[in-house]
Amino acid sequence: MSVYPWQSELLQKLSDDRARMPHAILLYGSSGIGKYDFARQLAKSLLCLTPVASGEPCETCASCGWYLQDNHPDFRLLTPEQDAENEQNSAAAKKNARKTQISVAQVRELGSFLELSSHQSNGLRVVLIEPAESLNAASANSLLKMLEEPPAGVIFILVSHQINRLLPTIISRCRKIDMPFPDRATALAWLNQQGMKNAEQLLDYYGGAPLNVVRNNGQDAGTESANLFLQGNNLDPFLAASKSVLLGMEVALDALQKWVYDLLSARLTGQVRYYNRHATALQALSKEVDLSMLLDFQRQLDEARKSANHPLNNELQLETIFLTYTQLFMKKTG
């Protein structure tokens, strides 16, 4: 494995600068562009005893071997999942299975790791924190103390999709790296290489972020949903809800939010973003919608998205949403 093609220049640059590597770096940018994979590869490369000229790890030294086995004594990973593992014994924690925070206990545990010295001749140790926005107030403050007095040879790598949610004092302790977003041609070439079918259409649907296409296994929620949305006020809300609910509430709402984004964008700028294949139809439909109702509908979808994980009656909720959708159109369409 190596970093993604749109990241190789950055890895090279960081590697050339290895001697002056700051003790904390913050990799930030959109979701779905491979920040975490890059961070993992960078960590492995920093720990590698004989990295190659491109900055990639050698994959053959003892350090690379430990890393591959998830067993490197000089490496620590902090994620919310780890939190769930640590609290497995608590019944309350089990109930609340979806972990979203890195706890202060997790950060404190780092303390003893930081007191040790490196197991290797290069003297480096790496702590990877992902996503950094999952630090809560207590754990962020605890980490801040470590960043203020960094032990020799330790490099902190923080990864963030939402840098505006981090404490400014944490950001100021890190070298910020704006992670490259692949251009369309590069992303398409890479997706084709992965054997992804309908790569163009999917890349549009996932907002140009190739890793989100792969993460969703090329799930083409857009095609099926678009066939429904295209019907405008001829859409049968009950039929649409019974079909959409099979996608799962989050996916169904995501598909509709993107459609509504495109409707609004077609109306205001003539451009669409997610459903390029239907650009002409969207432009025609957008002329039929009541603009203020469309804006209200967009807000309604945002609200529904927030509660998408609640055990509500999803199909019923979708019926209401689709009924409102059909009412957006002032004239009979189709």
Q: CA 278 → CA 85, 181, 226, 274, 285, distances in Å? A: 45, 25, 8, 9, 10
Residue 64 interacts with Zn ion (CB under 5 A)? yes
Residue 21 C-beta: closest distance to Zn ion, Å: 17
- Side-chain half-sphere of 89: how many Cα atoms within 13 Å? 1
Token pair, residue 128, equals: 């990877």
Residue 61 C-beta: closest distance to Zn ion, Å: 3
Looking up tokens 């609004």 gives 264
The answer to whether 196 and 202 have CB atoms below 8 angstroms apart is yes
**Span of 58-66, 162-170, 223-231, 248-256 interacting with Zn ion by CB under 5 A:** 58-66
Q: What is the distance between the alpha carbons of residues 70 and 331, in angstroms, rounded to a whole number?
A: 60
The answer to whether 63 and 28 have CB atoms below 8 angstroms apart is no
Site for Zn ion in 27-56 (CB under 5 A): 48
Residue 55 C-beta: closest distance to Zn ion, Å: 12
Nearer to Zn ion (CB atom), residue 49 or residue 189? 49
Q: CA 40 → CA 46, 199, 211, distances in Å? A: 10, 26, 15
Contacts for 185 with CB less than 8 Å, ≥ 6 apart: none
Among 57, 180, 232, 237, binds Zn ion (CB under 5 A): 57
Residue 64 C-beta: closest distance to Zn ion, Å: 3
Q: CA 186 → CA 2, 4, 220, 230, distances in Å? A: 16, 10, 21, 31
**Span of 32-40, 60-68, 100-108, 260-268 interacting with Zn ion by CB under 5 A:** 60-68
Binding map of Zn ion across residues 223-262, x = CB under 5 A, - = no contact: ----------------------------------------
Q: How many CB atoms lie within 10 A of CB 41?
A: 21
Nearer to Zn ion (CB atom), residue 47 or residue 166? 47
**Span of 63-71, 120-128, 170-178, 229-237 interacting with Zn ion by CB under 5 A:** 63-71
Nearer to Zn ion (CB atom), residue 63 or residue 139? 63
Residue 24 C-beta: closest distance to Zn ion, Å: 23
Residue 25 C-beta: closest distance to Zn ion, Å: 20
The answer to whether 48 and 126 have CB atoms below 8 angstroms apart is no
**Cα four-point dihedral sign 57, 62, 63, 65:** positive
Q: What is the distance between the alpha carbons of residues 268 and 264, in angstroms, rounded to a whole number?
A: 6
Residue 188 interacts with Zn ion (CB under 5 A)? no
Residue 58 interacts with Zn ion (CB under 5 A)? yes
Residue 44 C-beta: closest distance to Zn ion, Å: 8
Q: How many CB atoms lie within 10 A of CB 284?
A: 14
Nearer to Zn ion (CB atom), residue 45 or residue 160? 45
Site for Zn ion in 91-130 (CB under 5 A): none
Among 31, 37, 61, 141, binds Zn ion (CB under 5 A): 61
Token pair, residue 45, equals: 């490369």
Nearer to Zn ion (CB atom), residue 64 or residue 289? 64
Token pair, residue 37, equals: 């994979």
Looking up tokens 């990864």 gives 159
Q: How big is the site for Zn ion, counted in residues (CB under 5 A)?
A: 5
Residue 52 C-beta: closest distance to Zn ion, Å: 9
Nearer to Zn ion (CB atom), residue 43 or residue 230? 43
Contacts for 270 with CB less than 8 Å, ≥ 6 apart: 283
Nearer to Zn ion (CB atom), residue 64 or residue 213? 64
Residue 70 C-beta: closest distance to Zn ion, Å: 15
Nearer to Zn ion (CB atom), residue 58 or residue 323? 58
Residues that bind Zn ion (CB under 5 A): 48, 57-58, 61, 64
